[in-house]
Amino acid sequence: MNEQRLLRRLREGDHAALSEIIALYTSYLYTVASNIMAPQLPREDIEEAVSDAFVRLWEHRAEPVPGKLRAWLAAVVRNRAKDALRAARIAEPLEDDLLELAAPVDMEEEALRAELTHIAREAIDTLGEPDGEIFRRHYFLYQKTEEIAAVLNMNGATVRTKLRRGRERLREYFTERGYSCADPHF
Amino acid sequence: MQIRISDLMDESCPEKIELGAEDRAMARRVNALVMQKLNIAEPKPRRAGKKPLRTLLLVAAIAVFMGAAAYAVSGWIMNMKKTDEPAVGYWRTADAAGNLTDEQKIVFPDAGMILSYEGPQERTNRPEFRCWYLPSEADFGYTDAEGWTGYLSDSGAGAEIPYIVGAGNVRAGNFRTVINGDVTVVKEEDWGGFHVTFLTSDYTHCQGRWVYDRANYVLLFNAEKGWLVTVTGTDDLDTLEHIARELEIRDSGEPAFDGEDNMVESIGMIDPGRG
């Protein structure tokens, strides 16, 4: 399927293009949302989060660029899934997920979040492979360490070590850029 | 402040990682939910097999709209080149001044044939079609009340993706299309304005994971309009030819590319798939 053509049709208001995108990406998005929401929340809630991502796509259909549609949808469904957890007062699933950060200057929350996200991506890009993939699988896709270990044919301890190194790199990156940064887990 | 690492990962989606087993029933439920939330009527996919028209209808219909064509173009050429090397290309976008705004390298390690196009850069309207024969019920793609659409498929299950019919415009220059596997040209014919190529591809020696061992292709290329209508799938070539022969194809009246298009180079594939 040519994503460029699909996005063009979507921008033109073609409902059939939206349905084709739903057919293409529902399974992927359901898995991402399920990693966050299951087993605490039922299948219906997970499908609801997935459908919200496609609704947002329709309402913001000029935003995604060809080649990045799946990543755009995945970012949306992650946020929907986390919103659902918070609404149900259920703790987020990942351990070792917190950083203690202090910005070097006062910034508006949205600008600060954008900068932190950008710095995080740069830091992860320096990890090399498979460390970068492991970090993204865990912190973006919410895959558990044992699941990652099985997929990459490693043992769980190795995966956990690489995740710890990734967090260290992240902390170094923030520190080098003027942030006061601590990891509550060190 | 305390912040979650996972909350900082929105730009860090891992690429090339496939997740989730196909679940068509779930996709249909989600589609229904989305259409309900957007207050869009969800037309039933239609099996457009009520009128047994024949190839002559296709030829006649094409002759009619070709006669009325308003585009002063010299026509397009589709080049088909077999390869046993990986196809490497880029998705590149540029701003109005021609400065590159995004670049993504794409590699098709199993490429067996590369389609490239020459011709005018100007826009034509996109094609649409209706099917007067389908071997099985379509499960994706929506037709209007008269059966016209740009995409229709029976995406099947497991190793079977019976057929996918799609219609679009080719673009000249740095826009290429790949067919993967070991591709064989079975025959070529001319059908009243369309050059039709029948292909079959063997995927058994591919590096990637293809759900099927073989897929078949009927490519209908209209050189005057720059249209490529593809009938692909795991159904046998005779069945796909039957679908193709009973397609009615016309100008949709809608432009092929919108004003926001900023793509300057791309490479894609037309192998049947479910994503």
CATH code for the domain in which residue A54 is found: 1.10.1740.10
A174 in reach of chain B (CB within 8 A)? no
Name the residue in chain A with its Cα closest to that of B262.
A65
With bands split at pLDDT 50, 70 and 90, how would you rate the model's confidence at B45? very low
Q: How far apart are CA A41 and CA A64, in angstroms?
A: 29
A31 in reach of chain B (CB within 8 A)? yes
Is there a domain that residue A68 lies in? yes
Is there a domain that residue A160 lies in? yes
Given A56, A87, A118, which residue is the final one in a domain? A87
Q: Is A104 exposed, middle or buried (0-12, 13-18, 19+ CB in 10 A)?
A: exposed
Name the residue in chain B with its Cα closest to that of A83.
B7
Is there a domain that residue A92 lies in? no
Q: How far apart are CA A166 and CA B14, in angstroms?
A: 15
Q: What is the pLDDT of residue B64?
A: 36
Q: Is A46 exposed, middle or buried (0-12, 13-18, 19+ CB in 10 A)?
A: buried
Partner-chain residue, chosen from A16, A58, A102, that has the shortest CB–CB distance to B149:
A16
Q: What is the pLDDT of residues B173-184, one digit of tens each?
A: 888 999 999 999
Residues of chain A with Cβ-Cβ distance to B5 below 8 Å are 94, 97-99, 120, 139, 167, 170
Tens digit of each residue's pLDDT, chain A (186 residues): 578 888 888 888 888 889 889 988 999 999 999 999 989 899 999 999 999 999 999 999 888 888 889 999 999 999 999 999 888 888 888 878 888 887 777 777 778 888 888 888 889 889 888 999 999 999 999 999 999 999 899 998 999 999 999 998 988 888 888 878 765 554
Asked if B33 lies within 8 A of A51 by C-beta distance, the reply is: yes
A142 in reach of chain B (CB within 8 A)? yes
**Count of structural domains, chain A:** 2
B51: pLDDT strictly greater than 50: no
Q: Between the ranges A27-31, B146-150, B265-269, where is the mean pLDDT highest?
A: A27-31
Q: What is the average pLDDT across B179-194?
A: 92
Given A27, A60, A87, which residue is the final one in a domain? A87
Domain that holds residue A149: 100-182
CATH code for the domain in which residue A120 is found: 1.10.10.10
Is there a domain that residue A95 lies in? no
The pair of three-digit structure tokens given for residue A84, joined into one six-digit string: 């659902």
Cα A74–chain centre separation: 6
Partner-chain residue, chosen from B11, B19, B34, that has the shortest CB–CB distance to A32:
B19
